[in-house]
């Protein structure tokens, strides 16, 4: 999922803090007729309250493209490293 019109790469700039990333082992997905929301969190065992560390809001069309890109990348990952046991 490159975004844009698919014909040319998009140059992205990323600040140092964002480049470090945020670890998440949980995602919650919700939707309305016009958008999808994905909340990411790091959930600790036996902790009654966990904090959302990032929320992504996107359109249904972008969500469909994201889902296809995730499926394709999982396929490539498993070709290289073997099946992921869920």
User: Is the residue at 55 inside a domain?
Assistant: yes
User: Is the residue at 28 inside a domain?
Assistant: yes
User: Is the residue at 32 inside a domain?
Assistant: yes
User: Is the residue at 7 inside a domain?
Assistant: no
Per-residue model confidence (pLDDT) at position 86 = 81
Residues of the chain short of pLDDT 70, as ranges, are 1-7
Residues 6+ apart with CB under 8 A from 23: 42
DSSP string, 61-76: HHHHHHHHHHHHHHHH
Per-residue model confidence (pLDDT) at position 35 = 98
Q: Which domain holds residue 44?
A: 21-81
Per-residue model confidence (pLDDT) at position 5 = 55
Cα 57 off chain centre by: 11
Residue from 51, 74, 60, 64 nearest 32 by CA:
60
User: Is the residue at 5 inside a domain?
Assistant: no
User: Is the residue at 46 inside a domain?
Assistant: yes
Per-residue model confidence (pLDDT) at position 25 = 96
* Count: domains in the chain: 1
Per-residue model confidence (pLDDT) at position 8 = 81
What pTM was computed for the model? Answer: 0.80
């Amino acid at each position: 999922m490159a975004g844009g019109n698919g014909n040319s790469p998009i140059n992205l700039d990323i600040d140092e803090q964002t480049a470090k990333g945020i670890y998440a082992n949980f995602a919650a997905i919700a939707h309305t007729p016009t958008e999808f929301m994905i909340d990411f969190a790091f959930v600790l065992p036996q902790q009654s309250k966990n904090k959302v560390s990032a929320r992504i809001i996107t359109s249904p069309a972008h969500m469909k493209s994201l889902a296809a890109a995730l499926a394709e990348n999982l396929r490539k990952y498993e070709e290289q490293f073997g099946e992921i046991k869920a």
